[in-house]
A and B are shown apart, each in its own frame.
Chain A
Amino acid sequence: MDNKDDMETAVSVHPGRSATPDPWAENVRRVAETRDRAAFQELYKHFTPMIRAFLLKSMGAGANRSEAEEITQEVLIKVWNKAASFNSSKASVNTWIFTIARNTRIDFIRRNERNDRKIDIEDIWHEPDSPEPLVDLQQRRAEQVIKQAIATLPDEQLQVLYKAFMEGKSHNEVAEELSLPLGTVKSRIRLALNKMQILIDR
């Protein structure tokens, strides 16, 4: 237990994490360092129903409940296996697990496609390699802003975000489903992102 703090200093050299405490980061660290099953079981209990809910929605009509369950288990196995690569200064455990679930879902969708090139989903949707401490600190603040602002979004904006992120629909698919012009979908997303201070200037 004593060397945990040393490990943490080595991995995370700036004070960003203390500014926004993440209750689950400690569990992931324990899984990474000591393969702590009790810590993993707590993560399991908290995140499994959430991951399952996401996959049931986002895997679409092509997947049945047992496939969604299988992918949920795959996500959890990755959480266990990749715990050492989790960097608490870069993202919260919540975000980290979402990206693993998202990538596993993309992988599932592409699994049956023929592909000449040996390209892994994680060659595309991967964590940045180099640490960027200043940016990371801002990142963790940004996460708090998003969390608070999301509760204040009008339903029509929340709806398009929900369809994009949770149902796995592209802008075009959202527009078609809601019988809205593509421009309206774009502007609703844009307004929502601005409120969350995700300021993409193009």
Chain B
Amino acid sequence: MVSFHPDAKFLTDFAAGNLPLSEAICVAAHLEFCSKCRSHVQQLSDLGAQLMARLEPQLAAADSDDRQAFEQLMQRIDAADTDTAVTSAATTISAGAARGSSANPLGLPRVVQKLAAGGLQDLKWAQFGKSLRIAPIRIGEKTRETAIYDIRAGGRMPEHEHRGEEITVLLKGSFSDADGKYVKGDFVVRHAGERHQPTATLDTDCICLVSLEQPVKPSSFWYRLLEPFVNYRLSGLSN
């Protein structure tokens, strides 16, 4: 049972189309596990539609004839091949079928499948200690890093403090920390300054989608992404 959800700010910014890509990917992944939030997003889209309907309608430039504009649009549509609708409907159906089939054995959300095209194993993983590996995913966003974390069953992540907001969406398995236990589909937000030490449960590996807000600081991509872990390992060595 999913029990951690995006708040009203995330869902509103998402439905209004204003959420930056990395965060939007996390919300989209959560939505596939959570009918309640899907229904909220749908309501928020209804709200957007009602607001749109209340705008003062804008007519085309004064000199253009409505009927003529419509004919021009139909010419574009005809030129682009009227079979498109049939094709796209068929594609939608087959894509839907593929999602439910063995093509996606982990039941990954559509957006994660797309990000990890070819499967999770084909991502570029970096191993940290025995229990944790991280695959950064470049989506061209400057202020956040997006990554997939894989924590081995029973593995303990180093205790770390967040320098920026971190969103974690559980895709498989479960983990716990001092504040609670998190299961598949949960959307967990940690704010800057919060410390925690997540531990994967014993029976299965834990796979998470993570969006990490970056401190404004010029340093290399890898260093910034892995900094909390690198620090931990160094301090671990010195103990």
Contacts and interface: CB of A to CB of B under 8 A. Distances in A.
Given A117-B115, A200-B7, A162 B51 contact: yes
A142 B44 CA distance: 10
A90 B137 contact: no
Nearest to B14: A125
Given A106-B17, A139-B42, A81 B49 contact: no
A84 to B, nearest CB: 4
B50 A189 contact: no
Contact of B139 (A90, A97, A119): A119
Interface string B3-39: 0011111011111111101001100100100010011
Nearest to A90: B42
Contact of A171 (B12, B66, B88): B12
A111 interface: no
Q: Is the interface of A mostly helix, strand, loop or mixed?
A: helix
Nearest to A101: B52
Contact of A193 (B8, B17, B77, B84): B8
A50 interface: yes
Given A166-B51, A198-B40, 10 more contacts: A50-B57, A52-B60, A57-B55, A77-B77, A94-B53, A99-B45, A117-B139, A119-B111, A162-B51, A171-B9
Interface of B: 5-9, 11-19, 21, 24-25, 28, 31, 35, 38-40, 42-61, 66, 70, 73-74, 76-77, 80, 82, 84-86, 88-89, 92, 96, 99, 110-111, 114-115, 117, 137-140
